[in-house]
A and B are shown apart, each in its own frame.
Chain A
Amino acid sequence: MQSHILSIILFTPLVGALVLLFVPKESKDAIRWIANIFALGGFLISLPLVPMFWAQRFEPGFKFLEGTPNNWIPSIGAGYNLGIDGISFLLIMLTTLLGWISILSSWTAIEIRVKEYYVWFLVLQTGMLGVFMALDFFLFFVFWEAMLVPMYLLIGIWGGPRKLYAAIKFFLYTLFGSVLMLLGILFLYFHHHTVTNPQVFTFSIPELYKTAPMIPFHYAIWLFVAFFIGFAIKVPMFPFHTWLPDAHVEAPTAGSVILAGVLLKMGTYGFVRFSLPFFPAVVSHPKVQSWMIGISLVGIIYGALVSLMQKDMKKLVAYSSVSHLGFCTLGIFALNSMGLSGSVLQQINHGISTGALFLIVGILYERRHTREIAEYGGISNVMPVYATITMIMFLSSMGLPLLNGFVGEFTILQGAFTANWRWAAWAAPGVVLAAAYLLWLYQRVFFGTVTNPKNEKLHDLTPREILTFAPLIIMALWIGLYPKPFFQILEQPVNQIVQTIHDNSNSNSNAAVNAQVAPAPSSRPKASN
């Protein structure tokens, strides 16, 4: 079973979707139960991966390999090739967990066209898992684009008042980046063919790792730009972020959770998996790196400032995503192992905390059908359990020590500081601003007396709703209190990437790159596991 576990995890949601097709659409409860069983099943099936991966965490390369390069479409060179390393392993666990939580949270939120909703959601789940598992660029691209369709439908059918606008904006904007990325992929593929002897056509990513750094700089810079646009739109980085507020606000709650929790990570995953190892000379070029850092810093500060002024809770959380992911890209482009591992960990943290934030907003929205902050006040008097959970997740999001956000942000800032202290100096206010907008939001909504009579009869969280938060709180505490296992998992792939950059760096005087391969903060003994 080990040899096929990735495929099993990948296709369980799709099987669930196919099973749902045969359930008559009138039996809504049956549909909900079946969907939830498959979603939970998908998560439980991914759990055996944990001990198996843990045992192999220090071994180099991709694990749980399935398939061989070029076995799917030999005439093109595309293969059904799956495999994971530490980075994708964490993201896959996040995806299966958030997928289940989102489906669970939709129980009462979706009343129309229930069957279609769960079918598309499960298809989306498969698409997301495929992106993280694919070791073949063609396969990766298929999943990357295929995943846009269910998301578009989820926003467009079950979304808010401006759903049509938001859905099509999301689709077109993201597709724009994707097609430019396609051109980059094709160039890499063709280049591999021209430099290999005997000439080989393949899309296999490990193979392309070997030849991509050889691309001459003046071509590589354009390829980097092509990939950058594709990933920067997904992350989203300023100034390609304008689709995010619309998509997030108009999407149904579960859609926002999965959009923020997983889909945004694909952009940063793309940077880590592709941009950095493929174009190390370009990435380590001081000018390029400065631009990337600059955009990240703008994202952090701008995202936070705009969040501060929002009147709609969901939009506030949406812009906070821009700010948080600015930290992640800051960590990536610091190009050292601390920044990179901090960035990946922070991506997981963001998935957990922002996923929870959207759930929190969704809870209130389901009860009162408004997200205006002014409509609320003193909610903690009426819904104490909810207020407590909200406080925990807010603290996690703003990076309070003992919770997960602190570990990620601190490591990223450490990495940025090692590269160039000014970068860290500019990023640090982002932490303060995060506290500002989150605490101010909490104060306005929860503290004080109940200002709006409509809020007096709100009922507190149901057990199902508490269940959607429980895993997130557990993970937030776990990562916050004991992040060592996570850093150990990330150590090997992160060091590999940093090594590639160092080997191919074109400016040895770049202090940022030279301050790398520092031991990750795991303090593991040098001996093997």
Chain B
Amino acid sequence: MVELTIFALGILLIDLMVPREWKWINAAGAFVGVLFAALCVWQIQSALPRGAAGFYNSLLVDRFAIYFWYLFLAGAAVAILMSVRYLDVEDEHHGEYYSLLLLSVVGMMCMAAGIDIVLIFIGLELMAISTYVLVGFLRRDRRSNEAALKYMLLGAFSSGIFAYGLSLFYGLSGGTNLVVIARAVSAPQNLHNPVVVIALLTTMTGLLFKIAAVPFHQWAPDAYEGAPTSITGFMSVAVKAAAWAMLLRILVFGLWPLRSVYTPVIVVVAIATMTGANFAALTQTNTKRLLAYSSIAHVGYMLLALVAMGTSQPGSPGFSDGFKGILIYLLVYTFMNLGAFAVITSLRQRNVIGDEIDDMAGLYRRAPVEAVLMLLFLLSLAGIPPAAGFLGKYYIFLSLIESGHYGLASLGVLYSLFGLYYYLKIANAMLMRAPMETERLPVSLGIRCAVGVTALATIVIGVYPEPFIRGVNWSLGIVQAPHVAAMVR
């Protein structure tokens, strides 16, 4: 984390000295910073096999945290690749962009590793404020300004409610560490304590806002649509992953004794999220907005896994498959969503914004490779095997079946059909409609790398997911017997 901060500040300095045509050095610096940070994470992983706490027990660098750190860094790396030419075209190529990107990753890392509510909040705010600015980075674009303002106001409001909830937990437990809070709320009479319930609900409001669950999702479509496309991609994967890390830390590590209270709430929210998002996405004509609603729908599926976890015993298949499901879902989601946004980013040319579905018409002629890979991403988002997205859905539905929620499972699979419809709307436009212009679409090297890496990841994880599942098992501390046909849970 410290390395990233140093790199971020360094970029700010370099940016002052670098002339306009060489602005890509900022991007290169940021990319190097991300790689260097990944190297440092790897060092931490090797040096501390069982994790360690730091900063007065406010930070727990365990395997769960390390998994998310890798995820954030991967998301940031691909986002940087996507941004370079995009910012050139938008004429907003400033170093602050990359600095803010790196600083938001620092905030995310605090959210994932923090087990003290103060540190979690600091991380949350650091990430959020950096992201607010990034969303509004296109200073001369009205939509971008509006998006940033909406995001900031709603975000600040929800952060306030979140902080209120956390403060109530502090009052109940006398400490700010999640371990202390968990102990304090574990007494059975607390389940009926109105203060506890209010604290829980207000805390959850903040958490659900960040992951954009219905009914706290209103900021997402506007923020996603108005933001620079590369930031939209970054927000939809990294910010979401960080928000989920925070949610899992607080609800599962910290407030687990209250699961009988929050699980019913999550059920309602999950159903509302899937319903609202899928229906809303059906009529969208703007690809970024459509992917925003699809993001919200995916959150709905992941919330179902949380339901499965909340109604199972730790160690039972329902619990571990649910937990694995959320983590794997975030992994595959990172790559497939970034890939889709990378293709949308490539459509931004000098004279065309490129974020309507009509702009994708006939992409098979103008950029055949990108069109086919976009099809891959869309199918993966819909959950069609052998693309990676199926793996996430597989685990989520498996965990629902294992915990006995057959109705929710049926609802979930039916909603994924909705998803296919609106993803195919984009695919239809790309592959089946006649193109409006037939010249080649110039795609920058950075975007080509981004699309290539994400497509490769989507295919590899889909066809040979074994190492990745082992990685998730490792991060959750699930032991695997060496025997091929049996699995100890």
Contacts and interface: CB of A to CB of B under 8 A. Distances in A.
Interface of A: 68-77, 113, 116, 141-142, 145-146, 148-149, 152-153, 156-157, 163-164, 167-168, 171-172, 175-176, 179-180, 182-183, 186-187, 189-190, 193, 198-202, 222
Interface in B353-391: 364, 379, 384-386, 390
B417 A182 contact: no
A183 B406 contact: yes
B397 A75 contact: no
B421 interface: yes
Contacts of A190: 317, 398, 401-402
Would you list the 3 A-B pairs with minimal beta carbon distance, nearest first? A179-B413, A142-B385, A75-B469
A186 B408 CA distance: 14
A75 B416 CA distance: 25
A73 B466 contact: yes
A198 B486 contact: yes
A168 B417 CA distance: 11
A189 B413 CA distance: 17
A172 B421 contact: yes
A201 B385 contact: no
Contact of B424 (A76, A163, A168, A179): A168
A407 B397 CA distance: 44
Contacts of B364: 113, 116
28 contacts: A69-B485, A72-B464, A73-B466, A73-B469, A74-B485, A74-B487, A75-B466, A75-B469, A75-B470, A75-B487, A76-B465, A77-B485, A145-B385, A145-B390, A146-B386, A153-B431, A156-B431, A172-B421, A179-B413, A182-B397, A183-B397, A186-B394, A187-B401, A189-B398, A190-B401, A201-B486, A201-B487, A222-B406
B417 A175 contact: yes
**Chain B CB within 10 Å — which of A71, A182, A189, A198 has the most?**
A182
Contact of B480 (A75, A156, A200): A75
B414 interface: yes
A198 to B, nearest CB: 6
A172 B420 contact: yes
Given A73-B466, A175-B384, A190-B398, 19 more contacts: A71-B484, A72-B464, A72-B466, A73-B465, A77-B487, A116-B364, A141-B385, A146-B384, A146-B385, A149-B384, A168-B421, A168-B424, A171-B420, A171-B424, A172-B417, A179-B414, A182-B413, A198-B486, A199-B486
Contact of B428 (A71, A76, A145, A164): A164
Contacts of A74: 466, 484-485, 487
Contact of B432 (A141, A156, A199): A156
A76 B385 contact: no
Contacts of B384: 145-146, 148-149, 175
**Chain B CB within 10 Å — which of A71, A176, A186 has the most?**
A186
A65 to B, nearest CB: 16
Interface of B: 317, 364, 379, 384-386, 390, 394, 397-398, 401-402, 406, 409-410, 413-414, 416-417, 420-421, 424, 428, 431-432, 464-466, 469-470, 473, 480, 484-487
Contacts of B485: 69-70, 74, 77, 200-202
Nearest to A187: B401
Contacts of A200: 485-486
A74 B406 CA distance: 25
Contacts of B379: 149
A254 B279 CA distance: 36
Contacts of A68: 484
A176 B417 contact: yes
A180 B484 contact: no
Contacts of A175: 384, 417, 420
B479 to A, nearest CB: 12
B77 to A, nearest CB: 27
Nearest to B425: A168
A183 to B, nearest CB: 5
A199 B486 CA distance: 7
**Chain B CB within 10 Å — which of A73, A167, A176 has the most?**
A73
Given A73-B465, A74-B466, A149-B379, A193 B397 contact: no
Contacts of B486: 198-201
A69 B390 CA distance: 21
A50 to B, nearest CB: 30
B232 to A, nearest CB: 26
B410 A186 contact: no
A180 B406 CA distance: 11
A488 B410 CA distance: 42
A164 B429 CA distance: 10
Given A70-B484, A149-B379, A179-B414, A157 B466 contact: no
Contacts of A201: 485-487
A74 B484 CA distance: 6
Contacts of B420: 171-172, 175
B134 to A, nearest CB: 35
B427 to A, nearest CB: 9
B298 to A, nearest CB: 16
Nearest to A202: B485
A308 to B, nearest CB: 34
Contacts of A167: 432
Contact of B397 (A146, A149, A171, A186): A186
A116 B364 CA distance: 10
B373 to A, nearest CB: 13
Nearest to B379: A149
B472 to A, nearest CB: 9
B465 A157 contact: no
A158 B483 CA distance: 49
A173 B78 CA distance: 36
A18 to B, nearest CB: 13
**Chain B CB within 10 Å — which of A141, A142, A222 has the most?**
A142
A68 B483 CA distance: 13
Nearest to B318: A190
Nearest to A193: B317
Contacts of B394: 76, 182, 186
Contacts of A75: 466, 469-470, 473, 480, 487
B416 A179 contact: yes
B121 to A, nearest CB: 36
Nearest to B467: A75
Given A182-B413, A193-B317, A156 B385 contact: no
Nearest to A74: B484
A234 to B, nearest CB: 16
A68 B484 CA distance: 10
A13 B72 CA distance: 39
Contacts of B466: 72-75
A15 to B, nearest CB: 16
B123 to A, nearest CB: 31
A162 to B, nearest CB: 12
B212 to A, nearest CB: 24
Nearest to B410: A183
A141 to B, nearest CB: 7
Contacts of A202: 485
A160 to B, nearest CB: 13
A195 B420 CA distance: 35
Nearest to A163: B432
A193 B402 CA distance: 10
A171 B487 CA distance: 35
Given A172-B421, A176-B417, A183-B413, A157 B386 contact: no
A168 B480 CA distance: 42
Contact of B401 (A76, A157, A180, A183): A183
Contacts of A152: 424
A142 B421 CA distance: 20
A73 B397 CA distance: 18
Contacts of B464: 72-73
A148 B402 CA distance: 28
